[in-house]
Structure 1
Amino acid sequence: MPVRTSPTARQLRLGGELRRMRERAGLTSTEAGRRLGTNQAQISNIEASRFGVSPERVRAMARNYSCSDDALVNALIGMTGERKRGWWEEYRGILPAGLLDLAELEHHATSLRSAYVAHLPGLLQTAEHAREIFRQVVPPLSPPEVEHRVSHRIKRQSVLYRDKPMPYTAIVHEAALRMRFGGPSIAARQLEHMLEMTDHDDIRVVVIPFDAGSFPGSGQSILYAAGPVPQLDTVHLDTEHGSELLDAEAQLERYRIVLNRMENVALSKSASRDLIHGIAQSLKGE
């Protein structure tokens, strides 16, 4: 089996979950290898995602690690196999790997929940709004690089147009609604697009108004992607130095609490729509 030189975040997650399963069983990699009829190096390579792993091997590991959580085992089996060429693979070598990992994370999620303070959700952006944002990247991107990022962002939105819609909740601060990227006309069209998207039953946009005061999570953008089982949930943080993926249970619980508290201070979906509509109308009148 060829050694992987650049495993994806999803492949790394599979290896990490197999390592956690072994550690919960109180086994060293040497002991695990002995039980599975292999060696310590093979176990370490699988857990580091340098080697792929078959569904049969995952079942054998779960059996030897005394894991009786069938839902988790089946979810891990669904992550096996070599890299499947999703649409994001056409951007490999063109865009940062973190953007491809984000697209893959969203594609495999069962639901999404995000929070933004200074920007609007990428999954709800228009191409012209996204283009204005990418023109502000430091160091500057070339025009072709800007267009690659815009097309990647728009293709990510396909998760909202599936035959079986995926639930998506976006918590947005009023500050983000009033940012005028590209000027009043582009900003107004962006807000109108968001309103159109919230006509879908599975898409919720709730707004934290200025008068809500302080709240946790105000300093970063957060995406909480639910996996097929809670143990495979993932938090994606978007920062100036790149993206970060978190999956430790304590981290997941922390961001569940943060998002709950943010949503608790937000307006209802109906009141949020009214606020977005009012800002859009004021922009069109300028």
Structure 2
Amino acid sequence: MPVRSSATARQLRLGAELRKLRERAGVSSTEAGRLLGTNQAQISNLEAARIGVSADRVRALARNYDCSDQALIDALVAMTGERKRGWWEEYRESLPVGLTDLAELEHHATALRVAQVINIPGLLQTVDYAREIFREAVPPLLPHDIEFRVSHRIKRQAILYREAPPPYTAVIHEAALRMQFGGRSVAKSQLDHIVTMSERDNVTIVVIPFEGKAFPSAGHGIDYFQGPVRQLDTALIDTADNGSLIDAAAQLDRCRLVLDRMEHVALRPDPSRDLIHNIAKAL
């Protein structure tokens, strides 16, 4: 297979999981190449996602590594093949790679959990609210770059409307609900939109009120993407540089615990909806 000029987060994850299987089996890359009828360089390229890998080769590698977890093998097989051009590919050359990888992760997730303290989660933002967020970017974005990013953010939201949408749970702090980005009119429309979204069967929105208890990681937003098997879960921790992807088991365990504790101190869905509605009415 030809060497890729770049790899997506999903392709990099596949290579990393193949490396984990090999290392758990105690097999060197040289021995792995011999067992597969190739060489060490080919194995290194597969694991670094510099080249693609076929479904048959994934199954062969799993056999060579004595992996008996069929659910994991099937999930890895589903990640193989040449890159299928999702809608986000049209943005890959124009946006930071983290944003296009985010859209791809959302598209393939079986369930999503997010937590935000200052901003409304991206999948729940209105066009006007998103535009105001991007207008405050540092360094400043040109007008056409702002509109490009707004377009990308709104297209991401299609996953919540598709025929079999993934379950989506958002924990939002009251502080984010009271921020008036773009003024009262934009803020009210944004809150009304959240109330409408909260009524969808696949969407759960809960609010941590100002009088709520303390919770961990209060300063960071979290996006958690559930994979077809737990080993393939991924988390994104918000940073000023578009976020940091996490896939180590211990770190994922910590992210799940943080989200669990944030949900525990939040209001239940109905009181949360009432609070959002009341904030909107006061604007």
Taking structure 1 as the reference length, the TM-score comes to 0.98
Q: CA deviation at 1:132?
A: 0.5
Are 1:47 and 2:47 counterparts?
yes
Q: CA deviation at 1:82?
A: 1.1
How far apart in 2 are the matches of 1:237 and 1:85? 26
Structure 1 residues 155-208: Cα deviation after superposition (integer angstroms, max 9, x where no partner): 000110111121000000000000000101110000000000111111011000
How far apart in 1 are the matches of 2:14 and 2:30? 19
Moved over 3 A (4+): none
Consecutive unaligned residues in structure 2, runs of 5 or more = none
2:215 corresponds to which residue? 215
The 5 Å alignment of 1:67-106 reads 67-106=67-106
1:177 corresponds to which residue? 177
How far apart in 1 are the matches of 2:53 and 2:241? 32
Q: Secondary structure at the match of 1:149?
A: helix
Q: Secondary structure at the match of 1:200?
A: coil
Q: CA deviation at 1:241?
A: 2.1
* Amino acid across the alignment from 1:168: Y
1:17 corresponds to which residue? 17
2:192 corresponds to which residue? 192
How far apart in 2 are the matches of 1:116 and 1:59? 39
In angstroms, what is the RMSD of aligned CA positions?
A: 0.7
Consecutive unaligned residues in structure 1, runs of 5 or more = none
How far apart in 1 are the matches of 2:182 and 2:36? 59
1:33 corresponds to which residue? 33
Structure 1 residues 234-263: Cα deviation after superposition (integer angstroms, max 9, x where no partner): 001121022211001001100000000000
1:257 corresponds to which residue? 257
* Amino acid across the alignment from 2:162: R
Judge conservation of contact 1:234–1:247 (CA < 8 Å) in 2. yes
Q: Secondary structure at the match of 1:212?
A: coil
Q: CA deviation at 1:214?
A: 1.9
Q: Secondary structure at the match of 1:242?
A: coil
1:107 corresponds to which residue? 107
* Amino acid across the alignment from 1:192: D
* Amino acid across the alignment from 2:27: L
How far apart in 2 are the matches of 1:248 and 1:138? 30
Q: Secondary structure at the match of 2:238?
A: strand
Structure 1 residues 16-57: Cα deviation after superposition (integer angstroms, max 9, x where no partner): 000000011011101111111111111000000011000000
2:237 corresponds to which residue? 237
Judge conservation of contact 1:15–1:49 (CA < 8 Å) in 2. yes
- Report sequence identity in percent: 66
How far apart in 2 are the matches of 1:238 and 1:144? 24
How far apart in 2 are the matches of 1:264 and 1:117? 15
Q: Secondary structure at the match of 2:163?
A: coil
* Amino acid across the alignment from 1:29: S
Q: Secondary structure at the match of 1:170?
A: strand
2:158 corresponds to which residue? 158
Q: How many residues align?
A: 283
Judge conservation of contact 1:217–1:262 (CA < 8 Å) in 2. no
Taking structure 2 as the reference length, the TM-score comes to 0.99
Structure 1 residues 109-164: Cα deviation after superposition (integer angstroms, max 9, x where no partner): 00000000000010000000000010000000000000000000000001101111
Q: Secondary structure at the match of 1:101?
A: helix
Q: Secondary structure at the match of 1:107?
A: helix
Q: CA deviation at 1:5?
A: 1.7
How far apart in 1 are the matches of 2:200 and 2:212? 26
How far apart in 1 are the matches of 2:62 and 2:175? 48
Judge conservation of contact 1:177–1:276 (CA < 8 Å) in 2. yes
* Amino acid across the alignment from 2:183: G
Are 1:2 and 2:17 counterparts?
no
How far apart in 2 are the matches of 1:256 and 1:213? 18
* Amino acid across the alignment from 2:165: P
